[in-house]
Structure 1
């Protein structure tokens, strides 16, 4: 396997793991807020509620409902970049432990 193929395989594995975390976070928030994920501004602009769980925090908080903001205080939102750093650290730790 080439270095690039290996890098893409690792990236896909990390991305799939994040997708699972993202799905769980969204579902938990949707239940906790009774589906009230967007504020009035977000609803008027047609923002996709899933997008609040990705990308810049400034954008997420600009369109998040007060209920979602409160939920994030207990269960902080994790961006892909943050997840990737944590995931890579765990992979490195496991590699050194074996």
Structure 2
């Protein structure tokens, strides 16, 4: 495997690890803000894992989210991996530019 590919995989793993930390923080904050009321009745009836509301399509998340969680997301929006990845790349590029300036 080339050094370039190895570096790319390492960067991806670093971004995923950082995103996992963001998700954990988002879940913990939401759980505290909603007093644990993360799922609506439909989500509870289907046995949805509340943590999965922070992953995947927004349509699914909002379909099973409690009103309290929806309100929380209005102040603290869900962040998808794609959004996080774009932010993460911009941060790495800014660090690189600063390092060579």
Output the TM-score relative to the length of structure 1: 0.96
Decide which structure has the larger Cα Rg and report it: 2
Confirm whether residue 25 of structure 1 aligns to residue 26 of structure 2: yes
Distance 2:91 2:13 in 1: 16
Distance 2:46 2:79 in 1: 24
Point out 4+ residue stretches in structure 1 off by more than 4 angstroms: none
* 1:18-73 superposed Cα distances (whole Å, 9 cap, x missing partner): 11110000000000000000001111111111110111111100000000000000
Name the counterpart of 1:40: 41
Q: Which runs of 5+ in 2 are unaligned?
A: none
Q: Which runs of 5+ in 1 are unaligned?
A: none
- RMSD between aligned alpha carbons? 0.9
Name the counterpart of 2:57: 56
**Alpha-carbon deviation of 1:2?**
1.9
Output the TM-score relative to the length of structure 2: 0.94
